[in-house]
Amino acid sequence: MNRLSKIAQTATPGTGIQFRRDKYGSAGIRDFLRDVLAMANAPVEGPRYIVVGVDFNSQRQKKVHAVDAEDFSGKPSYQSLANEYIEPPLRIRYKPVSIDGKRVGVFEIGDCQDRPYMMRIDYSETLRRGDAYVHSKGSNMKMGRRQLSELFAMKYRDSVSAGDIEVGFPGEIIHKDLSLNICDLSQLPSAEASKKLNQLIDVRNQRRKAGSTTVIARLTHARLFGADDPYIDRTPTGLVREVQGLRMKYRDHDNHFLFESRAERVQMVVYNQGKEPIIGASLSLIMPNHNAFYVAETLPKVPRRDGFADRTPDEIAAYPSVSLQDGSIHVVSKIGNIPVGEPVDVFVAPLRLCIGKDLSGKRFGIRYALHGQNLRAPAKGQLRLVFGR
């Protein structure tokens, strides 16, 4: 029995664990944000858990209610919602486990060492910027001024100044600018396949108007796709539908092209020049979104003889959290403790980018914020990506 399954089957309600009968889904986002805030602010050490699909009756007997598989599909993306609305950043995992043959879900909220956690922006009239909740004695309560003041006082006691922190790109010195190569995106596997199918469409249309046979279409197909690819007599309309479906058909091939064979791997470092380590640090980035600027949301699949295979769970977990919010790209990485006097890598697995020719000679600004349990305030600043010609 794995750890999450054991928690779902044997745990009872407590300060570090909460149970919920029904999934959150798109209709329960407010409840999700409130519950995550409350668990993150709970006065316990280590991870906290929300078990979905389990409740208890008046005799404290556990009742299990199956959660449908769609709730684990990423729609809604619970991690992205937390990134968008809650600060400092939190790391959340949501996994299905089985109890008596029924599927339930377990949210694991990472070690929350940077309390208080609060709403970063308004979600609704009843969940506003600055709101904070705490889970205690089996219920979620809104935190008042006194509770927040006590947490902030603990946070600022013997704290590190943001002025002692330097964030940038690695080298002999820490750089604030990073030059990146550009890539010809017309060589994407889906784009190459689209060119070939469009040529075939043109030939079919031309020969159809001239009343010709399919001989020319067969010869063109052999030239474009090779003799080993069998010819199928398709109408121009059918070929157009194929072109429209190429992005999905070649998704794994395109991701391998963008984020493996042509990827720019970006690492960042944090240098602590203060007098004590930073505890429980995390870095968040905000970058512009552009149709020629690709950032991997996860590591690409690994090519195999018969297709592509998933990465290992450890590889997937090592990559930073990436999401699209409000027209910009947000990246969050949990760093842990940052000692004094030595640069520390921000990413366990470097961030992967691919830049198209449309951005040749351009520059992008990156806004960053470093959070830490004993930082008096987040260390904020701006870096720059410079794209080659």
End-to-end, the C-alpha distance of the chain in Å comes to 54
Paired residues of 368 in beta bridges: 285, 381
Residue 244 has pLDDT above 70, yes or no: no
**pLDDT for the residue numbered 243:** 47
What is the C-alpha to C-alpha distance for residues 60 and 63, in angstroms, rounded to an integer? 9
Residue 228 has pLDDT above 70, yes or no: no
Q: Give the tokens for residue 362.
A: 């351009």
Contact predicate 289/329, CB 8 Å? yes
Domain ranges of the chain: 3-156, 162-184+260-387, 189-249
**pLDDT for the residue numbered 31:** 95
**Poorest-pLDDT segment among 137-146, 200-209, 339-348:** 200-209
Please, what CATH class does the domain formed by 162-184+260-387 belong to? mainly beta
What is the C-alpha to C-alpha distance for residues 201 and 193, in angstroms, rounded to an integer? 12
Please, what CATH class does the domain formed by 3-156 belong to? alpha beta
What is the C-alpha to C-alpha distance for residues 88 and 109, in angstroms, rounded to an integer? 13
pLDDT digits 0-9 by tens, 306-363:
889 988 888 988 999 998 887 899 999 999 999 998 899 999 999 999 999 999 999 9
Helices in 41-160 by DSSP H: which ranges? 78-85, 145-156
pLDDT digits 0-9 by tens, 30-66:
999 999 999 999 988 889 999 999 998 877 888 999 9
**pLDDT for the residue numbered 234:** 52
Q: Tell me what the mean pLDDT of segment 289-298 comes to.
A: 93
**3-156 and 162-184+260-387: identical CATH topology:** no
**pLDDT for the residue numbered 37:** 96
Side chain identity, residue 93? R
Q: Which residue has the higher pLDDT, 151 or 387?
A: 387
160: CB partners within 8 A, 6+ apart: 272, 274, 275, 276, 278, 372, 374, 375, 376
Q: Please give the distance of CA 284 from its chain centroid, rounded to a whole number.
A: 12
What is the C-alpha to C-alpha distance for residues 70 and 76, in angstroms, rounded to an integer? 10
Q: Which residue has the higher pLDDT, 65 or 199?
A: 65
Would the pTM count as exceeding 0.75?
Answer: no
Instruction: Give which of 168, 153, 228, 223 is closest to 370, Cα–Cα.
Output: 168
**pLDDT for the residue numbered 202:** 64
**Average pLDDT score, the chain:** 85
